[in-house]
Amino acid sequence: MRTIQTETRFPLSSVKPLETLSRYRAHCLEETRKLLSRGSARRTASPVTGSPLQPFGTVDSFEYLICPDTGSLFLASLPPAEAWSGLLKEMHRYRHSPGGFHSELAASRETHVYQPKVEWIQETLALQGIRKPALLEGGSLPGDLKELLEKSGSFSRVEFTDEAALARGVSTAGKGAFQAVVLLESLDRSDDPAGLVEQAERCLSRGGLLFVTALVASGFDFQALGTNNRYFYPPDRTNCFTLKGLRRLLEKFKLELVEVSTPGVLDVEILQAHLAQDPSFPVSRFERALALADEPVRQAFQSFLQENGLSSYARLAARKL
Partner 1 sequence: MNCLIFGYGYMGKIRYQVLAKHPQVKRIWVVDPHLEKPPQELSGILLPPGDPLPWEQTDAAFICTPNDVTAPLCVEGIRRCRNVFCEKPPGRNWEEFCRIAQAAEAHPDHTLVFGFNHRLHPSIQAAKALLQEGRLGEIIYVKGTYGKSGGLKYRESWRTKPEIAGGGILLDQGLHMLDLFHLFLGPLQVQDALLADAFWNCGVEDNAFVLLKSHKGVPAFLHSSATLWRHTFHLEIGCRDGYLIASGLLSKTGSYGREQLVIGKRQFEDEAMALGNPREEIIHFDRDESWEKEVQEFLSAVQEKRRPTHGLLEEARSVMQVIRDVYALRGPTVVGREI
Please say whether the beta carbons of 316 and 247 come within 8 A.
Answer: yes
* Residue choice 7, 61, 286, 321 for contact with partner 1 (CB under 8 A): 7
Task: From 6-14, 30-38, 234-242, 286-294, give the range in contact with partner 1 by CB under 8 A.
Answer: 6-14
Query: Taking the CB of residue 168, how many other CB atoms lie within 10 A of it?
Result: 17
The residues facing 8 across adjacent strands are: none
Query: Is residue 3 a contact point for partner 1 (CB under 8 A)?
Result: yes
Stretch that binds partner 1, among 54-62, 120-128, 216-224, 313-321 (CB under 8 A): 120-128
Q: Quick one: 103 or 304, whose CB is closer to partner 1?
A: 304
Binding residue count for partner 1, defined by CB under 8 A: 17
The span of 35-43, 51-59, 121-129, 180-188 binding partner 1 (CB under 8 A) equals 121-129
Work out whether 300 is an interface residue with partner 1 (CB under 8 A).
no
Beta bridge partners of 240: 73
CA distance 191 to 168: 10
Question: Least Å distance between CB 315 and partner 1?
Answer: 11
Q: Which is nearer to partner 1, 127 or 297 (CB)?
A: 127
Query: Is position 307 an interface residue for partner 1 (rule: CB under 8 A)?
Result: yes
Helix (H) or strand (E) holding 54: strand 54-59
Amino acid at 150: E
- CA geometry: angle 87, 92, 97, nearest 5 deg: 120
Distance of closest approach, residue 113 Cβ to partner 1, in angstroms: 15
Q: Give the three-class secondary structure for 112.
A: helix
Task: Tell me which residue of 164, 177, 184 sits closest to 135, measured CA to CA.
Answer: 177
- Residue of 26, 41, 126, 276 that binds partner 1 (CB under 8 A): 126
